[in-house]
Amino acid sequence: MAPGTSIGAAAPVGSGGAELPSTLSRKVSQGTQAFIRSIAQVRGRNPSALEETVSMATAYSAQEALELGIIDLIAPDTQSMLIQLHGRTAATAVGTVVIDTEDVPITSIDRNFLESAIGLLANPNVVLVLFVVGGIALLVELSAPGMLGPGIVGAILLTLAFVGFLKLPGSWGGLVLLAVAMGLFYAETTAPGFSVFGAGGIVALVLGSVFLFGNGSGSSDVPEPTYTVSPIVTGATAALVAVVWVLFIRFVRSEGGTSAGFQTEEEAELEGAWGVALSDLEPSGSVRVASQEWAASADPGVSIRKGEEIRVVGVYGQVLKVERLYQERKR
């Protein structure tokens, strides 16, 4: 053993750290004690001290384990261990052998590039940043088709994010919240102003960051490494996304949209077009404009009957805002 380490506390518990039922606990405990006792007798260890690690959950420090005959030696490093092992005997399946570690070369095996890359990706902060940046890049591609670059970069970053996510005890609920945030940001490109969709996206992003990772066991009885996203990274990411998305929306709208939202050239041409209501609009329904069927909505409180002529006054993604055609003619 190494200095400062401990051994023992091997009382049987459930996979999640919970207490076992009485009968099952006795069965597992007795079986484990018998197994330890048989090994201790073969290896010349202290059977009673080892059995107490199971029956009483006793733990021993390195020095206590050495004094009780549970271990052979204490070594602070590899070189010290090899020196102390030299000349000792060990029982094997082919008989007793003498351990010869004099002048044994020590070879260090470093991680290769792939292992180092996976180690870097298996970081909660890196996973969050990759997912958010990749998601935003894909949204940019969807909002302004034909750029290609953002779509390719986004797909690569999202793939790397999933590789890192699968290496950690992540929560699928947190991942769903992040996906919802991306969906709300996309909805913002078809809605007027940075309001409910954008604000909802920021909230979903923060909640997704909080719930993305957690304790794998969910039990305080069995300490395990806890993986969480740094609050600083969460706050910085949310602030950066808000700023970048506002700037992008302004750019897109200045290039091809109006204050009502982003519009393609085809959608912009629909403003002012005439059509006919295919269903009652109270205030939502369907209309036919430019030989195509569209979802449409009138002002709150306004009803337009099926068959009435309408005029398009605004385009919100795939939804047209319309009014009765005769209202325009009276102006």
Domain ranges of the chain: 6-74, 113-258, 265-329
Structure letter (DSSP) for residue 186: H
CATH number, domain 265-329: 2.40.50.140
Q: Residue 303: CA atoms inside 13 Å, Cβ hemisphere, count? A: 3
What pLDDT was estimated at residue 167?
85
DSSP 210-269: HHSB--SS--TTS--------HHHHHHHHHHHHHHHHHHHHHHHHHHEETTEE--HHHHT
Cα distances (angstroms) measured from residue 105 to each of 74, 78, 79, 82, 322 = 21, 11, 10, 10, 83
Counts of helices then strands in the chain (DSSP H, E):
12, 11
Whole-angstrom distance, CA of residue 189 vs CA of residue 140: 10
What pLDDT was estimated at residue 76?
93
What pLDDT was estimated at residue 110?
85
Tens-of-pLDDT digits for all 331 residues of the chain? 999 999 998 888 876 667 778 888 889 889 999 999 999 988 889 999 999 999 888 999 999 999 999 999 999 998 899 999 998 888 888 888 999 988 888 888 888 888 888 888 888 899 999 998 998 888 878 776 666 788 899 999 999 999 888 888 888 888 999 999 988 888 877 655 456 788 888 899 999 888 888 644 444 444 445 678 888 988 898 888 888 777 766 665 555 444 444 455 556 678 888 899 999 988 888 999 988 888 888 888 888 999 999 999 888 767 788 998 875 444 4
Q: Residue 276: CA atoms inside 13 Å, Cβ hemisphere, count? A: 5
Residue 196, C-beta contacts closer than 8 angstroms, at least 6 positions apart: none
